[in-house]
Structure 1
Amino acid sequence: MTLQELARQHCVPRKGAEHALDEAAVTQLLAQLPGWQREADGKAIAKSYRFADFHRTMGFLNAVAFIANQQDHHPDIAAGYGHCRLAFSTHDVGALSLNDFICAAKIERLIAER
């Protein structure tokens, strides 16, 4: 699945271990997301972004919040002057699900369009 194919999908509610992606799927999907890495615990993917100033950082985060609300799948966010870090995980699954990769792909598309 390509980045564009991922970005065109929509998140759906996923609960339970049956929605957890296996290692092969995680590896394949992560390869489509430049700069995204799997967290040490294996239950989240994350990426850090740099911006020229706080205003641009917050503009980006507002766009991320819009996407997250639209998809009903929200990242953990850490932000400061000129930088932020996003991490996606699917708590109701206890592991990575397709929703994490869909949202990451939508954010990558957002960055590519700016």
Structure 2
Amino acid sequence: MTDSSLIERHCQRDTSRLEVTAAQGLLRQLHADWAVSGDGARIERTFRFKNYYQTIAFVNALAWIAHQEDHHPDLTVGYNRCVVQYSTHSVGGLSENDFICAARIDVLVTNHS
């Protein structure tokens, strides 16, 4: 892990599973609505919107970020909400990549809400 902020980093193919303390440290750099799952295997945040159009616009923007970083979340999409879950399946839990993408989404929502 480097000392630069999450938003300045990009996802890496060669990554490793984070220790619990490292994951907790990175979680503090994200919006307070992000949470680590009880089993410590993923981070999750629910985003709420005024209507379906705004929800799908968010999903499309998130898809672009996922494509650019080559790191893809699990999504649950409803009329006015989207639940985003990040986990790095190749390491069986959380990696720095999950937090990098979450930080990018935080900026997306902050700048376009």
Gaps of 5+ in 1: none
Matched residue, 1:94: 92
Shift of 1:98: 0.3
Paired residues of 1:75 and 1:89 also in contact (CA < 8 A) = yes
Task: State whether structure 2 residue 24 is matched by structure 1 residue 44.
Answer: no
Q: Distance in 2 between matches of 1:64 and 1:49?
A: 12
Map residues 78-89 of structure 1 onto 2, 5 A cutoff. 78-89=76-87
Rounded Cα–Cα distance in structure 2 between residues aligned with 1:23 and 1:80: 31
Match of 2:53 in 1: 55
1:22 aligned partner = 19
> Residue in 1 aligned with 2:65?
67
Q: Which runs of 4+ in 1 moved over 2 A?
A: none
User: Does the Cα contact within 8 Å between 1:57 and 1:84 map onto a contact in 2?
Assistant: yes
Question: Contact 2:20–2:40 (CA<8 Å) still a contact in 1?
Answer: no
Q: CA RMSD in A?
A: 1.5
What is the TM-score of this pair, normalised by structure 2?
Answer: 0.91
In the alignment of these two chains, the number of paired residues is 109
The sequence identity of aligned pairs, in percent, is: 44
Q: Hey, what's the Cα distance between the residues in 2 that align with 1:110 and 1:5?
A: 16
What TM-score, normalized by structure 1, do the two folds share?
Answer: 0.91
The answer as to whether partners of 1:14 and 1:93 remain within 8 angstroms in 2 is no
Amino acid paired to 2:22: A
Note the C-alpha offset of 1:14.
3.1
